[in-house]
A and B are shown apart, each in its own frame.
Chain A
């Protein structure tokens, strides 16, 4: 099985 991470794991809020 695989999990779908969100983009907050990669990109930071400015």
Chain B
């Protein structure tokens, strides 16, 4: 038996919104420690890895590990039936071929349940090596979203250049060029507005805008985003979920032909 109850059900809606752009289907691995998911987009250029720890749920029971393969478009249709203030419970029997979502209003006066068919997905799990990144940038997630959106008007790719002074995002295209520079700024009133750079050595890497824009669907999940970069290895874009876990995206840098 698997059962996970989340009073803050809107969080689950936001998590799904953050991955359904990139993934049509994925397997939610449910274990005693929590729920995890790892999947590449269909072109195998980017990867989503998320973790929702069991202690972040209001009630969590997982007698034995279950893999819940889901069509995420269909899951999103069902999640749209939950209001933002609903309590959401996910339930599945061991070896079941369906999963049940229960939505309760805060006053318990309306309870809805939706049963969805599960899929048998052939999932390939990738080993992600531990990396000491040359640059780690922490910045407001809304700012990162804005920069990705703005520069994708200019070109298909964004060059992210990081030094200890700051981080620069650049794009070039038929119409011209655009650059956005952010200075390191830890002395702000609100922690979430800070731009903090931890640099071992400077890096400059090129990434496809369309994937970065998909990653920014996770913006409502966290006030800050963390970009981890090293030469010739995939970028990690991480959104931390308070007291719960994380959503991470990996994107291979473009290379000169």
Contact = CB atoms under 8 A, between A and B. Distances in A.
B234 A14 contact: no
Given A2-B157, A2-B206, A4-B208, A11 B47 contact: yes
B125 to A, nearest CB: 5
Given A2-B255, A4-B45, A6-B43, A11 B208 contact: no
Given A2-B206, A4-B208, A6-B43, A11 B128 contact: yes
B124 A13 contact: yes
Contacts of A8: 44
Interface residues of B, number: 24
A2 B254 contact: yes
Interface residues of A, number: 14
B250 interface: yes
Interface string B39-56: 010011111000000000
Given A2-B157, A6-B43, A6-B44, A11 B126 contact: yes
A7 B255 contact: no
Contact of A14 (B44, B125, B208, B254): B125
Contact of B126 (A1, A2, A12): A12
B127 interface: yes
Nearest to A12: B127
B208 A1 contact: no
Given A2-B206, A2-B256, A2-B257, A7 B40 contact: yes
A1 to B, nearest CB: 5
Nearest to B234: A10
B47 A7 contact: yes
B129 interface: yes
A6 to B, nearest CB: 4
A1 B234 contact: no
Nearest to A11: B126
Given A2-B257, A11-B126, 5 more contacts: A5-B252, A6-B44, A7-B234, A7-B252, A14-B126
21 contacts: A4-B45, A4-B208, A5-B45, A5-B252, A5-B255, A6-B252, A7-B45, A7-B47, A7-B234, A7-B252, A8-B44, A10-B233, A10-B252, A11-B47, A11-B127, A11-B128, A11-B250, A12-B126, A13-B124, A14-B126, A14-B127
Interface of B: 40, 43-47, 124-129, 157, 206, 208, 233-234, 250, 252-257
